[in-house]
Amino acid sequence: MNKEEELKIIEDMQAVVAQMKADDIEENPDCEFDMFDCQCCGEEKPLAGSVVYDGIRICNDCVLYAETGFALGKIKDIQDLIVNMEDKKLEAQCNFIKQDEIEHNN
């Protein structure tokens, strides 16, 4: 697969994932504001556009990573993505702890 084909796949996945989020919001406008902790990146994200893979709910941003990774053959299952996202998840958790400490010290 050449770079042009890869870019086309990425663009297609971006459109699909954006449409998933838009469809969720159209079906249930509250889901744009209902938040959850993504089990992949560790960030608090809107329920809109999230997907459950093998019992693991991931945010719309991570869905883009997952679907692109599947389409490009870079990952074989959601666990591959979670392993690759460990550093980002740890960073999000550390930022949450820092913010919590700041709020409690003021």
State how far the alpha carbon of 79 is from the alpha carbons of 2, 59, 60, 64, 68, in Å: 26, 15, 16, 15, 15
Question: In this model, does residue 80 exceed pLDDT 90?
Answer: yes
Structural domain harbouring 34: 3-105
23 vs 96: CA distance, rounded Å: 30
**Whole-prediction pTM value?**
0.81
Render pLDDT for 20-63 as a digit per residue (tens, 0 to 9). Answer: 999 999 999 999 999 999 999 988 999 999 999 999 999 999 99
Selected residue with higher pLDDT from 92 and 2: 2
**Number of domains the chain is built from:** 1
